[in-house]
Amino acid sequence: MLAALLYGREDFRLEQVADPTPAAGEVVIKVGAATTCGTDLKVWRRGGHAKMLKPPTLFGHEAAGQIVAVGADVTNWRVGDRVVANNSAPCMECFFCQRQEYSLCPNLTWNNGTFAEYLKIPAPIVKHNLLRVPDELPLELAAMTEPLACVLHGVARSHIQPQDKVVVLGDGAIGLMFVAALADTVEVLLWGGNDQRLEIGKKLGAVQTFNYHQTPDIPSVVKELTQGWGADVVIEATGVPSVWESAIACARPGATVNLFGGCPRDTTITVNTEQLHYSELTLKGVFHNTPEYVRKALALITTRKIPFELLISEKRPLQDLEQVFCDMKARKVIKVALTP
């Protein structure tokens, strides 16, 4: 089959590799749509990921498709089923899993390789995080289950109240998903650097949007809009250390700051200890998702109440993958649905 393999920084190659075959408990799907993600872009630019993969390796982690083979002991799935698989599953047995803190499981089973014609799904994912896709739901929308699950996990960890003013920093797919997930219940202010993306943010429910190229002093603007105090909740969705610091500066006393965007390895930020202490700030790092939010994400996508199709800039063949990543790097596209 044709598949993308990551070899290092900005170095992936489309190669012919052996078709996967399922072992006991596993299934193989024919990829119907694989969506790109900001995490994929970071992995490509950085040449790896501290937790999910080490090159050389199959690449990509969002996809939906149709089962074409099942291994021994698989009883709940059949060839022909339309499915979406999360890119991980917890062990369900460790210290953290026993406390239902599944995203912290040190034994997470990871799965990569969605930028390919076929994808093998490991047994733990088949057991805990493989979901049936309704016939009426386009596969490119179902493929976005994983990032939306991460966002819904992030929303739950932010302890947002109905009267809150929430600032989202970042107009990538994740930032825009946060806007979509929150806009029905709270007032969301969105910052980003791309006017077209900010327009999509408005369509997804942001009450105000700001281009940081025109309004670089984000904390001052936030305070002007909040009676001088700052936002109740700030969600950082860029993974840039300086933006983490800006997020903290945007927060009112008693606020929660969700530091959601993953920064480069071994980076640090500076925190004003006086502000942190006397303003009783809550700084939260939030990572990945859990089986509960994987299911909630697919259910939300299936309702079609939120136009998540706005996040898919293009549909392209797998052979265009290198150009797609160059376009992502240049911020010409948000997400691209690739079809092998």
Mean pLDDT computed over 308-322: 97
What's the pLDDT tens digit per position in 231-275? 999 999 999 999 999 999 999 999 999 999 999 889 999 999 999
Grade residue 54 by pLDDT with cuts at 50, 70 and 90. Answer: confident
Greatest extent of the chain over all pairs of C-alpha atoms, in Å: 62
DSSP label at residue 133: P
Task: List CB contacts of 212: < 8 A, sequence separation 6 or more.
Answer: 191, 192, 193, 218
Of the candidates 242, 224, 241, 222, the one whose C-alpha atom is nearest the C-alpha of residue 232 is 222
| Mean pLDDT score, 79-98 | 98
Total count of domains within the chain: 2
Distance CA 304, CA 323 (A): 30
Q: Domain check: are 186 and 139 in the same one?
A: no
Claim to verify: residue 85 and residue 173 sit in the same structural domain: no
Nearest to 111 by CA among 47, 164, 37, 59: 59
Query: Are both 10 and 134 inside the same structural domain?
Result: yes
Q: Say if residue 48's pLDDT is above 80.
A: no
The better pLDDT of the pair 279, 9 is held by 279
- The verdict on 16 and 130 lying in the same domain is yes
Regarding whether 212 and 164 lie in a shared domain, the answer is yes
Range(s) of the domain holding residue 279: 159-285
pLDDT of 50 above 70: no
Indicate whether 310 and 295 sit together in one domain.
Answer: yes
Q: Tokens 């969700």 identify what position?
A: 258
Write out pLDDT tens, residues 132-168: 999 999 999 999 999 999 999 999 999 999 999 999 9
172 and 48 assigned to the same domain: no
Q: Give the tens place of pLDDT for each residue, 288-313.
A: 999 999 999 999 999 999 999 999 99
CATH code for the domain of 186: 3.40.50.720
* Residues 230 and 185 placed together within one structural domain of the fold: yes
- Residue 29, pLDDT score: 98
Rg (the chain; Cα; Å): 20
Answering whether pTM is above 0.75, one says: yes
Please tell me whether residues 209 and 301 are part of one structural domain. no
* Residue 24 is assigned to a structural domain of this protein: yes
* Within a domain: 314: yes
Supply the angle between the helices 291-303 and 145-157 in degrees, to the nearest 10.
Answer: 110
Q: Quickly tell me which residue has 């929430």 as its tokens.
A: 166
Task: Tell me if 336 sits within 8 A of 315, measured CB to CB.
Answer: yes
Would you say 168 and 231 are in contact if contact means Cβ atoms under 8 Å apart? no
Is residue 143 one of the residues assigned to a domain? yes
Name the H helices within the chain: 38-46, 95-98, 123-128, 139-142, 145-157, 173-182, 195-203, 218-224, 241-249, 273-278, 291-303, 321-329
Same domain, 206 and 249: yes
Cα(298)–Cα(85) distance, integer angstroms: 11
- pLDDT confidence of 12, banded at 50, 70, 90? confident
> Do 207 and 247 belong together in one domain?
yes
Q: What is the pLDDT of residue 44?
A: 87
Above 80 in pLDDT, residue 53? no
Tell me the C-alpha distance between 248 and 236, whole Å.
9
